[in-house]
Amino acid sequence: MSATPSTAVHPTQAGLPGERVMPHAPLVRLPSGMDCIPQHYVTYHHDLASLSEIAARVSFDAHTLVFASQDEHGMHIQIGLIGRENYDRGQAVRPAKLVYGRKWRIDADTPSSEIVQTIFLAIKKAREHEVRELLTLRDGRHGASSAALSNHLDLPMLVQQRQWLTHARVNNATDAERVQHVLAGLRFAQRTLHLRSLHFFGGQAWVEVTLGEQAPGRAEEGDLPEFADLRLCVRFDPSQPHQLIYELMDALIQHSDRHVDETFLFDGFARFSRQIDPRLLARLSIASRPYGRDQGNTRFYSGFQRANYDTDAGRAPHLGTGALAQRNRRLIEAHPTLQGHMPRGFLTPERGRHA
């Protein structure tokens, strides 16, 4: 929020559709000198039109689309990515392809800031899905490659294979040889991973790697330029060389997440940029919540408390039936003084009511 003269009044922090100021809501003076009514003194009544307008004020890059849609289950946000088929690892230039992430449900009473944060998280997770498919391991026995840490593995099959998957393999190679062997079988977006430095200290291995050059076809496609010239530094237990693969995956995902932090804009503002000082965010947050002052405003505060109660109560899920409901009931009943809104359909003699 840009600084304005103290006489300026903004009904809400962003003036977004689908918002209604609570009756008798007081103004709050911010450190910048602006007077405003903050989001927690607002109720939300979003529909597809207001959701779409908020989504339209988000920008990221030319390969990422934000969709606001509605189906029989309600409103949702969905991310579309324009890219290439990750599992086509040939050398030729591949045609562009539009793929979609999961649907992120949005309730009508979702605060506008949370809608923006949902879009932000949806972009991060859609990109993480792609990053996980791009790190491949070559199986020396068959010469084939697999995106072993992708989201497309058969979980019931893995459960059946749990003993085989966790059985320790004997390897008599030195720690340095194990690191070299692991790196030799890895590719990221068909790039090799080059070892730049390797140190052992305190029972840990400290590894620095860089990504190799792109294949000509991949360079011509121009995907993921933020990974160019990337240098990764990770540490792991050298007695478990497979841990290096997990650490590299975490580092690649973190790099993708940081790119989203700095590139994601709402109304042209990089809300999640690391350039923003959290100490200043804290000052704004504290100034925007003068609850001690506003408790004395009886015309406003009773309505404020009632609105918060109704919102929280409306978010309580149904307990349901079956094994999951029984387990959740046991966990809840283990806390006889538990506060908050209980699931709908939950009833105990001690409480004597649906909470």
Q: CA-CA distance, 216 to 256, in Å (whole number)?
A: 23
Q: From the CB of residue 347, how many other CB atoms can be counted at a distance below 10 Å?
A: 13
Long-range interactions of 310-316: CB distance < 8 A, separation 24+? 311/43, 311/109, 312/340, 312/341, 313/341, 314/109, 315/107, 315/341, 316/341, 316/342, 316/343, 316/344, 316/355
Give kind and range of the element (H or E) at residue 44: strand 42-44
Yes or no: say if 97 and 85 are a contact pair by the CB < 8 Å rule. Answer: yes
pLDDT value, residue 53: 97
Please name every residue paired with 194 in a beta bridge, in sequence order, or none if there are none.
210
CA nearest neighbour of 70 among 100, 98, 101, 105: 105
Q: CA 112, 113, 117, 118: dihedral to nearest 10 degrees?
A: -20
**Would you call 88 helix, strand, or coil by DSSP?**
coil
Burial of 26 (0-12, 13-18, 19+ CB in 10 A): middle
| C-alpha to C-alpha distance for 275 and 335, rounded to whole angstroms | 43
At residue 149, φ and ψ (nearest 5 deg) are -105, 20
SS3 344: strand
pLDDT in tens, the chain (355 residues): 333 333 344 444 446 899 999 999 999 999 999 999 999 999 999 999 999 999 999 999 999 999 999 999 999 999 999 987 777 667 777 788 899 999 999 999 999 999 999 999 999 999 999 999 999 999 877 778 888 999 999 999 999 999 998 876 767 788 899 999 999 999 998 899 999 999 999 999 999 999 988 776 666 666 788 998 899 999 999 989 999 999 999 999 999 999 999 999 999 999 999 999 999 999 999 999 999 999 999 999 999 999 999 999 989 999 999 999 999 999 999 999 999 999 999 975 555 544 4
Whether the Cβ atoms of residue 320 and residue 345 lie closer than 8 Å to each other? yes
Predicted confidence at residue 257, as pLDDT, reads 97
Q: Where are the beta strands (DSSP E) in 225-264?
A: 231-236
Are the C-beta atoms of residues 135 and 147 closer than 8 Å to each other?
A: yes
